[in-house]
């Protein structure tokens, strides 16, 4: 019938006014800047622990990336992940407490915990303003990709070919795998030794995030 058969990637648009209203929140320190970019981190995944890269690796990767970029981390999560988000935010802050971010002479926060503290429109605004999102295979991953924000995703029990961000092969996104022979299993919990996720190193994730922000 003359239609174009090429697949169309998911696309979301955030209104400028929504972005302005979000940046005006007092805890955000005025928003991102070239000197202190915003990077997003989402360590949760509702489906189950088999989809979650280990918490301590998320924290260590974030610490190393912040030391090399001077970024401000926005921590995302649903209400059931409040404690997880708080632990990661605290670990980053303690490790990098000597790093001070300033924009036009005023101090800005280097970790902002937004877990359970955004509406859907505010989440979209935050993800749009992030230079990259480090995340598990999750809802925020898909939202960020649809907004045009690059994502770095450790994949374990699921398959990037089936549930990856955007369209397959999109070079903006990094889908990292350990090539474990049992992956993807699509189970909620790993019945063996979680090699699909523990085989993805912190160094590999750090390098992927730095490449996405270049």
Report yes or no: 49 and 188 within 8 Å, Cβ to Cβ: yes
Other Cβ atoms within 10 Å of 50 Cβ, number: 21
Does any domain span residue 78? yes
Does any domain span residue 2? no
**Side-chain half-sphere CA neighbours of 141 within 13 A:** 26
| Cα dihedral 195/198/203/208 (nearest 10) | 70
pTM of the model: 0.94
Please state the rounded mean pLDDT for residues 71-82: 95
pLDDT band of 101, cuts 50, 70, 90: low
Report yes or no: 188 and 151 within 8 Å, Cβ to Cβ: no
What's the CATH number where 141 sits?
A: 3.40.50.2000
Segments forming the whole domain that contains residue 140: 16-213
Does any domain span residue 3? no
Does any domain span residue 6? no
Which residue did the predictor score with more confidence, 4 or 102? 4
Taken in order 146, 140, 196, 158, the sign of the CA dihedral is: negative
Say whether the peptide bond before residue 131 is cis (omega within 30 degrees of 0): no
The pLDDT tens digits for 138-177 are 999 999 999 999 999 999 999 999 999 998 888 999 999 9
Does any domain span residue 201? yes
Q: What is the pLDDT of residue 152?
A: 98
Does any domain span residue 102? yes
The pLDDT tens digits for 9-36 are 899 999 999 999 999 999 998 889 888 8
Q: Which of 11-15, 103-107, 108-112, 167-171 has the highest mean pLDDT?
A: 11-15
Write the CB contacts of 207 (distance below 8 Å, at least 6 apart in sequence): none
Number of domains, the chain:
1
Q: For the chain, where are the alpha helices, taking DSSP H only?
A: 16-23, 55-69, 82-95, 120-129, 139-147, 160-163, 195-198, 202-213
């Amino acid at each position: 019938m003359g239609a174009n058969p090429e697949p169309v990637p998911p696309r979301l648009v955030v209104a400028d006014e929504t972005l302005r209203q979000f940046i005006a929140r007092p805890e955000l320190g005025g928003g991102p800047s070239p000197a202190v970019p915003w990077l997003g981190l989402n360590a949760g995944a509702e489906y189950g622990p088999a989809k979650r890269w280990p918490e301590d690796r998320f924290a260590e990767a974030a610490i190393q990336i912040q030391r090399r970029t001077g970024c401000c981390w926005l921590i995302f999560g649903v209400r059931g992940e409040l404690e997880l988000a708080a632990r990661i935010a605290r670990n980053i802050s303690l490790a990098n407490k000597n790093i001070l971010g300033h924009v036009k002479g005023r101090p800005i926060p280097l970790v902002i915990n937004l877990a359970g503290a955004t509406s859907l429109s505010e989440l979209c605004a935050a993800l749009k303003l992030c230079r990259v999102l480090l995340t598990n295979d999750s809802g925020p991953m898909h939202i960020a990709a649809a907004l045009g924000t690059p994502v770095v995703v450790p994949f374990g029990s699921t398959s990037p070919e089936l549930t990856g961000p955007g369209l397959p092969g999109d070079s903006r996104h990094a889908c990292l795998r350990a090539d474990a022979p049992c992956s993807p299993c699509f189970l909620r919990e790993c019945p063996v030794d979680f090699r699909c996720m523990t085989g993805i190193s912190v160094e590999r994730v750090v390098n992927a995030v730095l490449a996405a922000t270049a």
